[in-house]
Amino acid sequence: MERIDTLKAKLEELTINEPYPQILIEPEIVAYAMYVTKKVVSRTIQKENINTRTLGVLGQELFNGCLLQYKIPNVYANPIYKDKTMRQINKKHFDFIVPHMPKEKQIISIKTISEGEKDKCFVATIEEWENEIHDIAIAIKIDSLTQHKAHMAGWLFAKEIEKLPTHDFGWGMAYYTYLDVAEAQECEIPPMHNIIPLMEQLLKGSYTPI
């Protein structure tokens, strides 16, 4: 995976011009997400849409790449492993655990939004959300698969997500808010938090050999 170019330097120099950290997607990561999905869906939730599941795995892999780039120690519950207990805490699934983060931000859920202007909301399906354990959720928006571009759009505490309005987007009732802060505020829906301060906290845990 190609990385978030010069993000760490820009954070340290406070010279970020982009509103969000940008991510470049290598085609092999998309192919891997499709492979993992086919392996997982065939042995778990049959009713789940394979495209939706692929999108979720892709977002997890993109975030995993960010953590790898900056050598941030973490536990990644990669869905490729068949043993569910490897990906659970107290029988609930998790995506990532980042131990050095503040206690209220250690268990991180990744929610991926597909490309296209019509897909402009952070969405967390209630049924799935209740079977997961998380402190916060980070939204990753796919800007263009053909141009290999995505970005981190924002984040929310789990307790904030559970207070969001709900809507059925076609796969069950879900919590939602708009990725665009102004649009969320206009609709009187709590907006997502800026991702940059959260990234700064993550980067403080970068591994530096003694």
Tell me the per-residue pLDDT of 98-131, one tens digit each, with 9 for 90 and over.
999 999 999 999 999 999 888 999 999 999 999 9
The closest alpha carbon to 74, from 94, 53, 54, belongs to: 94
Give me the percent of the chain exceeding a pLDDT of 70.
85
Round to whole Å and give the CA distance between 8 and 11: 5
What pLDDT score was predicted for residue 206?
A: 86
Q: What is the per-residue pLDDT for 3? A: 41
Confidence of residue 2 (pLDDT cuts 50, 70, 90): very low
Phi/psi at 159 (nearest 5 deg)?
A: -65, -25
pLDDT (0 to 100) of residue 4: 43
Whole-model pTM?
0.87
Strands in the chain per DSSP E: 22-24, 75-76, 88-89, 92-93, 96-97, 107-113, 121-125, 136-144, 149-157, 166-168, 173-178
What is the rounded distance in angstroms from the CA atom of residue 188 to the CA atom of residue 182? 10
